[in-house]
Structure 1
Amino acid sequence: MASVNTNQTSDKTLMEPRRYQIELLNYVMQRNAIIYLPTGAGKTYIAIMALKRFSHQMQETIENGGKRAVFMCNTIELARQQAIELKRCTNLNVGFYIGERDVDNWSPRKWNDEIKINQVLVGTAQIFVDIISQNYIKITDLSVVIIDECHHARNNHPMHEFMRHYRMAADKSQLPRVIGLTGVLIKGNKLNKIREELENLEAIFHGKIVTVGSMEEYQNVMAFSTKPTEKLVTYTSQTHIFRLVGTIKNIIKECDVMVNQWDLGAIKVKQSKNLGSLRQPNKKVFITNLLNDFVYQMDEFGLYAAAIAIMSPIIEFELKKRAAETMVLRNLYRYVISICEKIRHMIIDELKEEITDPDDAYNTLDIILNYSTSKMRSLLLLTKELFSNKDPAEIHCLIFVERRYTAKCVYYVLQQYINLEPILTKSLRPQFMVGRNSVVPSIESLLYQKWNNTAIESFRNGDCNLLVCSNVLEEGIDVQACNYVFAYDPLKTFNSYVQTKGRARSSDALYAIFTDKSDEVSVVQKIKGYQEAHKNIQDFLIGRILDQDEPKEQDIAEQFKDLITPFRTQSGAYLLASNALPLLYRYCALLPTDAFGVATPWFNKQTTDDLIHVALQMPLQSSIKHTIMSKKYRTVKQAQISAAFEACKTLYEQGELNERLLPVTKTECVAKVSEELFSHWKKFNDNVTSKTAGKQQRRLYNHRYPDELYNAVPKIKELCYAYKICAYPQF
């Protein structure tokens, strides 16, 4: 069970809160609000103090009139961090809920036990939307809801849909307090609509954005938050073009042609997002994407990095080859692996031409620098300039990159360079950390989780002092006070700039932004625009902690316009428009299939008078045999949701979805008829819904088959008979 009851109060709970934290705490105890403070200014501490003030409502179970609290996060890593922090700083029972714990398949009894035992529920946003929709807990059973990184609550994001449930609650007097936390109020680059975006966010959360009371107080806040020195590191795009690079690109182009022509047999194709065309079979797309990613690494970082980067597709293709369903697919992976091995040997042979002794390894400082692009050299030389002969305890450096494979590639090049450079060997201890894009539990996702946990723990305790990471560390993840942060890839959005810069929490921190020399002017203008937007937000918000009007009902209603009116079951579960498509795919995934196919819904797009509607055809295994037509909408996505919503309602009416709007399992089907058809089994103490075999249970009855049925296959020129056996129950 993911809960801990901490009886002793930690040192952190004895921290003296700052004046602005007390002011903001008193404000949110009276009404909903979004707390906006710079990174490192103590937003989470305000949330913890609020939880403690609401804790008297959580002492009893919900059945006995008690309440529960929710701490909602946008990512798994952030949720894990906040759960640990709450266990450490409070004596409340804390439950931790993420998809990796298989919470989607928990029984009602399991959820009831978790909610009964744990007073604070911490997890990702979608899980809380699901348990509210499925009526495991009501929105009025909560005393306080804390939403971290709440600027994500736009459109159909789970945080937004949670607030839709808040708005739909019947008893408004029992609604929980909602506290949003963020250091970035604008998502994306909507810098010309700052006021409009902020007012929309306030309407979504039914409360005002609040920060410190005056500019003087804001300066005090900045003393506790991040204010690093910013530096622009430029590099030239003009670099030596090796003939081998062109040769490798031609080989990959020929490989792409061969892959596209490879006949994989009857593999189900996928529709594109707009339903207008068919995608390539995903097996081929996977190969093409990995090869394109390798070309990107080679162009960005050079041939030396390419010698390392080529190993990633080789390993990935080898894993896929071993799991291939058919011999044809296995042969395709063998072919692609042979191409990658050929490229790898060509690169290594090129690198070894620089060495007089052919037996020497190709890892030397000259080879690394000569066969790296100016972008890679700028990073290597900057690390040498900043960290030469420096005490490793004084270095806490984060390097942010955009792609997962880039993080690995940059890490291995840095590692080789540090090992070969004597003045860096004792100073730097690098590591890397990447996000996970797998939502299905697998060996790979578990290994990534274990690696990431080890990497971030090593960085926190000082075993490593330079961490190359993807955007998994941009938002909220609390690492020790970093004094060096490098934005190695181009900054694409305002919140990326604020979040990466916010990791530099040390008082003498350096924030370095890498850019091509030709893009220097545009990057400087972009950063000035970001800084101006940040100042405009401060000017708009400072002083708003004073009494002010709450968002108007008209503005709130504008943010929660229903595409389709939510459907409510008799038990109180809700089907929202945003949940219809995921629920339909979940139902189809549980339909019986063989090893050669999957059950998926099929949408056909039709256009009438510039409006779109789709025809939904369910798999043959489904109880829905007719075609479902959507209503007409302006976008394909809306039409798909409309058809999926109607399908889910039909499935519920036909008994394929239960009262919690979840697919009915085989066990539930058997249990439903067991009282009528198998009542006489009770005298044998036999439960017909339990498994009859397995390591934990023995089979109750031996299976025997007629000898005549063994090897009973049709033979050429031999008469065959077909028998019909009918069985009728005599009870």
Structure 2
Amino acid sequence: MDIRNFSPRQYQTNIIKTCKEKNTLVCIPTGLGKTKIGILLSIERLKKFPETKIIVLTPTKPLANQIYNEFKECTTIEEKEIILLTGKISPNKRKDLYEKSKIIVATPQTIQEDIENSRINLSEFSLLIIDEAHRSREKFANTIVAKEYIKKSRHERILALTASPGSTKSKIEEICSNLNIEAIEIRSETDEDVISFVQNKEIEYTNVELQPELKNLNNLIKEVYKSKIEGIKNFNINKPASQITKVDLLNLQARLQKEVRNRNNAAFYGLFLTAQLLKLSYASETLETQGLKSLNDFLKKLETEETKSAKAIMKELNIIKCKNICNELLEKSIEHPKIEKLKEVILKTMKEKENPRIIVFATYRNTVENLVKLINELGIKTTKLVGQKEGLTQKQQIDAIESFNAGKYNCLVATSIGEEGIHIGEADIAIFYDNTPSGIRKIQRSGRVGRLKSGKIIFLITTGTKDSAYFWKSKRDEYKMKGILYKMKEKPELYLNQQKSLKEF
């Protein structure tokens, strides 16, 4: 057995030297062939331990389908020995497939269930590959499978793959600890053995400012928020009201929920207040980052909610006024300035390029729905890519990606499902309709462009709002993460598990 249809690049060969000897976390930019590194190591392990098998864990069915096809196309392993395993295959059949296969590609939840029901013998596996390894937090299925594998495998080797493991030292160390990582291999787009394979990405930052009408609306929401935030100080938050963040409110909510279970009556009022503040914060953020239509959708949702917090908000005079003005502005076709910029960029791209591929990223499903409708109305064939919880089955997700790749659609509007790993053809341009505070997600989004040819990334940023704050935070996170990883690579003895197990002797 061997590889086929590709030749290893120099950086892949360099990285594999480490992966052969140690459990390794590999962090390389999206589009530089993380799966190929998994394929190279799989062949090496199967040659060294011919009686063994390989497991590849990946978080979603579309990703599993993609990796399964790549193993079939890029190795000489018999196709019948490469298995795509899903929870829909009956448990008895899965047990039979484990015995007949060499490469198993599956979601971690499926493998976890089969471990718990003794359908899989982990001692037969000489390599565990964990794709999108940043999902390996303490109680995640990745971690549970890895810990069982470490206990039972006779020839333990773990390869963890990600473009972005986390922005803090503690988060990266947690993943390394959970997966028994002994070495880190990181490459940036400027590293010597990588630079010749990196496509040019043109980055454009487009700043817009909210119109006076939208600023006035936002002030109405913020006045209600300010009137309620002072009440939170009674619940041991030692910060000025202006510095209390959404994270502070979520942490307080979790603490108060515990106190409610312990029959603390005062905590009930705290929860009522916190729920209102979180909803008001979301309303303001929606207006700043998404637009009037999205705010209107949210206010309509609050009107139908049966919760006390929603009812209290909708009785506020400022919110009643806000709802009425919102409707009036929409009737006058006044929208967020990003909408006009987005239309301008897409129409310009359609004019300049023949049959271009455009990806638009937005955080929320209702924004995706609104944008798909808007772009289709421009006469541009557009479809959506959202998660299962947001309304698309995994089959529909795969169909959307394949239709976009085949050129049936020029534009794909996606939530976070489109950010992670999935090979969405070759986008000519990626537009960040909104900005994520997560460095991980910024890296994932940016990786959808410039894989095989040069591309362009456009950030739409609303100045003086959370949109702008999130943009700068994600940029800082990315810079910080790379610095931490290079330190960990150079001095693994300070950060990583260096104890050899008995299996290695």
The C-alpha deviation readout for 1:631-680, integer Å capped at 9, x for no partner, is xxxxxxxxxxxxxxxxxxxxxxxxxxxxxxxxxxxxxxxxxxxxxxxxxx
Q: Is 1:529 matched with 2:476?
A: yes
The answer as to whether partners of 1:20 and 1:217 remain within 8 angstroms in 2 is no
Structure 1 counterpart of 2:9, one-letter code: R
Q: What's the counterpart of residue 232 of structure 2?
A: none
The answer as to whether partners of 1:57 and 1:143 remain within 8 angstroms in 2 is no
Structure 1 counterpart of 2:63, one-letter code: L
Q: What's the counterpart of residue 179 of structure 1?
A: 159
The C-alpha deviation readout for 1:54-105, integer Å capped at 9, x for no partner, is 335787xxxxxx3221000122322222122222323342222233x1x5xx
The answer as to whether partners of 1:34 and 1:209 remain within 8 angstroms in 2 is yes
The answer as to whether partners of 1:148 and 1:181 remain within 8 angstroms in 2 is yes
Counterparts of 1:565-580 in structure 2 under 5 Å? none
> Residues 378 and 58 of structure 1: is their aligned pair in 2 closer, same or farther, counting only changes over 3 Å?
same
* 1:228 Cα offset (Å): 2.3
* 1:543 Cα offset (Å): 6.0
Q: Is 1:508 matched with 2:448?
A: no
Q: Is 1:51 matched with 2:38?
A: no
The answer as to whether partners of 1:20 and 1:212 remain within 8 angstroms in 2 is no
Provide the rounded CA distance (Å) in 1 between the counterparts of 2:282 and 2:399.
Answer: 26
Structure 1 counterpart of 2:27, one-letter code: Y
Q: What's the counterpart of residue 396 of structure 2?
A: 451
The answer as to whether partners of 1:484 and 1:510 remain within 8 angstroms in 2 is yes
What is the SS of the residue equivalent to 1:533?
helix
What is the aligned length?
436
**What TM-score, normalized to structure 1?**
0.51
The answer as to whether partners of 1:40 and 1:224 remain within 8 angstroms in 2 is no
Provide the rounded CA distance (Å) in 1 between the counterparts of 2:4 and 2:488.
Answer: 29
* 1:48 Cα offset (Å): 1.0
Structure 1 counterpart of 2:205, one-letter code: L
> Residues 133 and 508 of structure 1: is their aligned pair in 2 closer, same or farther, counting only changes over 3 Å?
same
Q: Is 1:211 matched with 2:194?
A: no
**Structure 1 stretches lacking a partner, 5+ long:** 1-6, 60-65, 247-271, 280-288, 318-345, 355-366, 420-427, 439-444, 557-731
* 1:47 Cα offset (Å): 0.8
Q: Is 1:89 matched with 2:101?
A: no
* 1:535 Cα offset (Å): 4.2
* 1:396 Cα offset (Å): 2.2
Q: Is 1:464 matched with 2:409?
A: yes
Q: Please report the RMSD computed on the Cα atoms of aligned residues, expressed in angstroms.
A: 4.7
Provide the rounded CA distance (Å) in 1 between the counterparts of 2:58 and 2:86.
Answer: 10
The answer as to whether partners of 2:10 and 2:193 remain within 8 angstroms in 1 is no
* 1:460 Cα offset (Å): 1.1
> Residues 539 and 227 of structure 1: is their aligned pair in 2 closer, same or farther, counting only changes over 3 Å?
farther
Q: What's the counterpart of residue 94 of structure 2?
A: 111
Q: What's the counterpart of residue 106 of structure 2?
A: 123
Structure 2 counterpart of 1:383, one-letter code: I
What is the SS of the residue equivalent to 1:231?
strand
> Residues 298 and 41 of structure 1: is their aligned pair in 2 closer, same or farther, counting only changes over 3 Å?
closer
What is the SS of the residue equivalent to 2:408?
coil
Structure 2 counterpart of 1:392, one-letter code: E
The C-alpha deviation readout for 1:698-728, integer Å capped at 9, x for no partner, is xxxxxxxxxxxxxxxxxxxxxxxxxxxxxxx
Q: What's the counterpart of residue 21 of structure 1?
A: 12
Structure 1 counterpart of 2:461, one-letter code: T
What is the SS of the residue equivalent to 1:34?
strand
Given candidates 354, 371, 381, the residue that maps to 1:392 is 354
Q: Which stretch has the larger CA shift, 154-163 or 536-545?
A: 536-545
> Residues 275 and 474 of structure 1: is their aligned pair in 2 closer, same or farther, counting only changes over 3 Å?
farther
What is the SS of the residue equivalent to 2:464?
helix
> Residues 548 and 528 of structure 1: is their aligned pair in 2 closer, same or farther, counting only changes over 3 Å?
closer
The answer as to whether partners of 1:211 and 1:543 remain within 8 angstroms in 2 is no
Provide the rounded CA distance (Å) in 2 between the counterparts of 1:28 and 1:244.
Answer: 55
* 1:528 Cα offset (Å): 4.6
Provide the rounded CA distance (Å) in 2 between the counterparts of 1:73 and 1:469.
Answer: 20
The C-alpha deviation readout for 1:476-519, integer Å capped at 9, x for no partner, is 11122323112222212110111111222255322222222114
What is the SS of the residue equivalent to 1:144?
strand
Q: Identity across aligned pairs (percent)?
A: 20
The answer as to whether partners of 1:35 and 1:182 remain within 8 angstroms in 2 is yes
The C-alpha deviation readout for 1:276-299, integer Å capped at 9, x for no partner, is 3699xxxxxxxxx99x99998788
Provide the rounded CA distance (Å) in 2 between the counterparts of 1:273 and 1:226.
Answer: 50
Larger RCO, structure (CA 8 Å, separation 6 or more): 2
Structure 2 counterpart of 1:276, one-letter code: V
Structure 2 counterpart of 1:205, one-letter code: L
Provide the rounded CA distance (Å) in 2 between the counterparts of 1:352 and 1:552.
Answer: 61
> Residues 234 and 549 of structure 1: is their aligned pair in 2 closer, same or farther, counting only changes over 3 Å?
closer
* 1:121 Cα offset (Å): 1.4
Provide the rounded CA distance (Å) in 1 between the counterparts of 2:205 and 2:82.
Answer: 43
Provide the rounded CA distance (Å) in 1 between the counterparts of 2:331 and 2:106.
Answer: 54
Provide the rounded CA distance (Å) in 2 between the counterparts of 1:86 and 1:20.
Answer: 20
The answer as to whether partners of 2:427 and 2:455 remain within 8 angstroms in 1 is yes
What is the SS of the residue equivalent to 1:211?
strand
The answer as to whether partners of 2:218 and 2:284 remain within 8 angstroms in 1 is no
Provide the rounded CA distance (Å) in 2 between the counterparts of 1:413 and 1:389.
Answer: 18
Provide the rounded CA distance (Å) in 2 between the counterparts of 1:84 and 1:494.
Answer: 29
